[in-house]
């Protein structure tokens, strides 16, 4: 969970710094050689930023979805009773179920009391949409509206381009690389964070701090004798490794 969360934070910081504003096109029509060279440089920069965004944006969608699901997987593992850990097939069955089923079964396979999840609420609905988006990209579902850029109309053999932007070069780059768009990527990142915050708010205050502490550890270890989870390397281990000399 922590690795996906940190990757998401890094990717979002990188994406926020990209300039995705297409360069104006009309001003260089019928212009001189210098203006055309300047336009070509701007288009090159715009194209480069679009490609960066595409790589970072799709990765952020995936990492955000993975962070949300790995949080639930970790919660199930950490709070499952010993009996379920002994029956490895039973635990595996729950962990391999789809995301929505995991949420519905969380209370049933946990030793902790959890307030009821509002499946009609905005946070859960947006998180389920995020999982659907993740799945559509991974499986390349051509029929999905998530992968549809719109319709193209023709006048005989000639495609009719949208004249609103006035920059067919930039429009082509946007159709190729700004999918998903900035708003969708931003929503994926924020939804993942809000989902974890929402689930944590449902945990009883007496045990919430313990759950928060263990999900902050990376990696998590499992003691095969006691059937309990714990930190393999404590997050403050660097302080013990800084000692020098006779100490």
Q: What is the pLDDT of residues 129-179, one digit of tens each?
A: 999 999 887 666 666 666 666 777 899 998 776 666 567 778 888 888 998
Q: Which residue has the tokens 């030793």?
A: 111
Q: Which sign does the torsion angle of CA 226, 229, 235, 241 carry?
A: positive
pTM: 0.81
DSSP-H helix ranges across the chain? 2-16, 33-79, 82-86, 88-95, 99-105, 122-139, 168-177, 182-201, 205-215, 237-241
- Is 203 buried (19+), middle (13-18) or exposed (0-12) by CB count in 10 A? buried
Q: What value does the mean pLDDT take over residues 200-218?
A: 87
Q: Supply the pLDDT for residue 109.
A: 85
Q: Supply the pLDDT for residue 247.
A: 47
Q: How many other CB atoms sit within 10 Å of the CB of residue 43?
A: 18
Residue 89 pLDDT level (bands cut at 50, 70, 90): confident
CA atoms of 23 and 49, how far apart (whole Å): 12
The answer to whether residues 100 and 128 touch, using CB atoms and an 8 Å cutoff, is yes
Evaluate if residue 128 carries a pLDDT over 50: yes
The answer to whether residues 50 and 74 touch, using CB atoms and an 8 Å cutoff, is no
Task: Report the first-to-last Cα separation within the chain, whole angstroms.
Answer: 36
Evaluate if residue 242 carries a pLDDT over 60: no
Q: What value does the mean pLDDT take over residues 208-218?
A: 83
Q: Supply the pLDDT for residue 119.
A: 95
Contacts of 8 (CB under 8 A, 6+ apart): 60, 63, 64, 67, 189, 192
Q: What is the DSSP string of 75-136?
A: HHHHHS-HHHHHSHHHHHHHHTS-HHHHHHHTTTT-SS-BPPP-TTSHHHHHHHHHHHHHHH
Phi, psi of 155 (to 5 degrees): -105, 95
Lowest mean per-residue pLDDT among 21-35, 126-140, 230-244: 230-244
CA atoms of 126 and 61, how far apart (whole Å): 13
Candidates 85, 122, 88; CA nearest to 229 is 85
DSSP code of 200?
Answer: H
The 10s digit of each residue's pLDDT in 169-192 is 788 888 889 989 999 999 999 999
Q: How many other CB atoms sit within 10 Å of the CB of residue 31?
A: 12
Average per-residue pLDDT in the chain? 84
**Residue 113, token pair as written in the block:** 């009391």
The answer to whether residues 147 and 141 touch, using CB atoms and an 8 Å cutoff, is yes
Evaluate if residue 228 carries a pLDDT over 80: no
């Amino acid at each position: 969970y922590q690795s996906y969360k940190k990757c998401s934070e890094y990717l979002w910081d990188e994406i926020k710094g990209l300039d995705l504003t297409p360069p104006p096109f009309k001003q260089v029509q019928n212009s001189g050689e210098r203006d055309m060279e300047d336009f070509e440089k701007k288009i090159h920069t715009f194209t480069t930023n679009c490609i960066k965004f595409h790589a970072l944006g799709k990765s952020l969608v995936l990492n955000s979805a993975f962070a949300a699901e790995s949080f639930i997987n970790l919660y199930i593992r950490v709070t499952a009773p010993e009996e379920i850990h002994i029956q490895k097939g039973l635990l595996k069955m729950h962990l391999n179920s789809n995301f929505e089923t995991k949420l519905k079964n969380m209370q049933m396979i946990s030793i902790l009391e959890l307030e009821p999840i509002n499946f009609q609420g905005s946070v859960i609905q947006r998180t389920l949409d995020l999982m659907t988006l993740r799945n559509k990209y991974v499986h390349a579902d051509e029929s999905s509206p998530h992968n549809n850029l719109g319709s193209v109309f023709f006048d005989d053999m000639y495609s009719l381009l949208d004249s609103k932007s006035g920059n067919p070069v930039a429009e082509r780059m946007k159709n190729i690389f700004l999918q998903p768009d900035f708003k969708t990527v931003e929503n994926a990142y924020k939804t993942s964070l809000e989902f974890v915050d929402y689930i944590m708010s449902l945990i009883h205050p007496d045990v919430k701090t313990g759950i928060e502490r263990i999900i902050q550890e990376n990696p998590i270890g499992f003691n095969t004798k006691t059937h309990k989870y714990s930190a393999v390397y404590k997050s403050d281990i660097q302080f013990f490794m800084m000692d020098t000399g006779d100490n």
